[in-house]
Structure 1
Amino acid sequence: MTNKTLNQTESTVEISYPELKELFTDILAKLSEEDLRDFHEEVGTMLAVDKVTMTRDEIVALAKGDISLIEERFSKTGVSVEFVVNAEKRTVVALVKFNSTGYIRSRGIAKCDPNDCFNEYIGKAIALRRAFGNPVMYEYLNAPQPEEPLVGDLVSYHSGLYGLAEYKIVVDGAPVFRRPCAHIGSTIGKEGKVIDDSARYK
């Protein structure tokens, strides 16, 4: 691997998502279900101790890859996963079902902290890991918050006229009369607090 550094003093590891996904893919392909659980437990412990430094974009990419890998790994055992995303309540539920009967084998729930930005992919990865009894990665629970709004984000903004309200950020010039929206170049688009950034990762 390249582009990986270890600071012995601060115990900080920097590793790109492609490198981490390549490592996970190679390892997961060789593990039994029992070994897979042990692997996730050890990785979760390592990340909590070493504080892997990743951007929010990298963490969401890792979450999407994590979901695909776990779903693929367990699809061979006759189960599938159904996700129930409730953006309004900021929750994600992962239902693991037997393909033959539809019976729910297990479920996992992820609920976003009120002070954090909701992201359905991070939520899915957390819920899926909990459904299979795997430790949740440190980075999923401590992802950096979005630095600024982007088109598609849902933001909250307090104004003297409307009080605290939620707005969907749209491109400048787009119509905003159908639902609470704000142009990216407006004050809301520049200063609003991002409360859901899932759309930017579709």
Structure 2
Amino acid sequence: MENVNQTVINDANTVFEKKDDKYFGYKSRFGDIVIGGAYSYRFVVHYAKTNQDVVIISGDVNTVTTPVCTTLEERLWKPEKSAQARRDEIVEMAKVDVENLKAYGKQSSRSTRLGKMTYREYYYSVEFKVSSNKRKVSALIYPIGRLGFISGRPIHVGRAKAAPDDCFNVHIGKAIALRRALGLVVPDEYLNAPQPAEVRVGDVIEVTLDSGEIEKKPVISLKAGSLNAHLPGRIIQYPSHYAKIINDSREEVGE
């Protein structure tokens, strides 16, 4: 049985190892998960729905299983779930992804010398540069030396920019930029996240007035069918169906 399980592991594209309620990256043929990085069951189920040959090594080293969607998970991921709910889950997935990648802190570097390809591992530090106005995020990777000092120049840079018609979300942007900086695959969910359909406190909205003037303001409160946004020296109320959400990062309100 052990040989059969080892064959399954060897043939799998991606392997997670289950420890308590966490799933740790064990193997990735595509380089799109962090080896040693911790993931939730929800992430593993979602990953397995969009990738082939994914297996789990359970607490018993002689047991290998495939991700099984429980009734709860099926409800969480069923296609008919609302676009807003799917976007919320993708944003949470991006937050966890960024924390895992930052915490891992190792990256392989390739170099060719005397006709031989060599690899070395180094620890790295991540810095993000965010421009909400330009709707873009940059991830800068700095190597950390043996004495713990950070290099003055980044060795890898990844960038992400929202398309003109897309709502900007800094958490999705950070995940895309960081994966690009590390040379990892960017999940399709990040690149094609549904647009927000529900205005919330902290969102930045764009409203076209009757005069044709366009205003971009943060939402400070909500009422049935309308919302309030800041204007210089006063608060103005808009019908919610007039508003286009252009930024749903909501970092200022702790989300």
Scaled by the length of structure 1, the TM-score of the pair is 0.71
2:117 maps to: none
Displacement of 1:120 in angstroms is 0.2
Higher helix share: 1
Any idea what SS the aligned residue of 1:70 has? Answer: helix
Task: Say if 1:117 and 1:146, in contact at 8 Å, map to a contact too.
Answer: yes
- Percent of aligned pairs sharing the same letter: 34
- Tell which deviates more after alignment, 70-79 or 150-159: 70-79
Confirm whether residue 59 of structure 1 aligns to residue 90 of structure 2. Answer: yes
| Residue 113 to residue 172, structure 1, CA distance change in 2 (3 Å) | closer
CA contact (8 A) 1:83 1:95 kept: yes
Output aligned runs, 1:43-54, within 5 Å.
47=50
The answer on whether the counterparts of 1:118 and 1:197 sit within 8 Å (CA) in structure 2 is yes
Larger radius of gyration: 2
- Partners of 2:208 and 2:242 within 8 A in 1: no
Residue 195 (structure 1) aligned with residue 187 (structure 2): no
- 1:71 aligns to 2:102 (yes or no): yes
CA distance in 2, matches of 1:130, 1:52: 29
Aligned length: 169
Contact 1:48 1:137 in 2 (8 A): no
Deviation at 1:164, TM superposition (A): 1.8
Matches of 2:192 and 2:233 in 1, distance apart?
Answer: 32
Whose strand proportion is higher, 1 or 2? 2
Tell me if the contact between 2:200 and 2:222 (Cα under 8 Å) persists in the aligned partners.
no
Q: Distance in 1 between matches of 2:143 and 2:184?
A: 19
Counterpart Cα distance in 2 of 1:131 and 1:45? 24
Structure 2 counterpart of 1:146, one-letter code: P
Report the Cα distance in structure 1 between the residues aligned to 2:191 and 2:127, rounded to whole angstroms: 22
Give unpaired runs (5+ residues) of structure 2.
1-20, 34-43, 53-76, 80-84, 108-121
Using the TM superposition, name which of 76-85 and 86-95 deviates more: 76-85
Shift of the 52–107 alpha-carbon distance from structure 1 to 2, 3 Å rule, reads farther
Aligned to 1:86: 131
Aligned equivalents of 1:144 and 1:107: distance in 2? 26
Among candidates 130, 141, 155, match of residue 205 of structure 2: 155
Partners of 2:218 and 2:105 lie apart in 1 by 36
Cα gap change, 1:168 to 1:104, in 2 (>3 Å) = same
- Structure 1's consecutive aligned runs of 4 or more residues displaced over 6 angstroms after TM superposition are 43-46
Whole-Å Cα distance in 1 between the matches of residues 234 and 173 of structure 2? Answer: 25
Pick aligned residue for 1:107 from 154, 157, 176: 157
Deviation at 1:67, TM superposition (A): 0.3
User: Equivalent residue of 1:121, what SS?
Assistant: helix
SS at match of 2:95: helix
Q: Which runs of 5+ in 1 are unaligned?
A: 1-20
- Specify whether residues 78 and 180 from structure 1 end up closer, same or farther in structure 2 by C-alpha distance, changes over 3 A only: farther
State the superposition RMSD in angstroms. Answer: 3.3
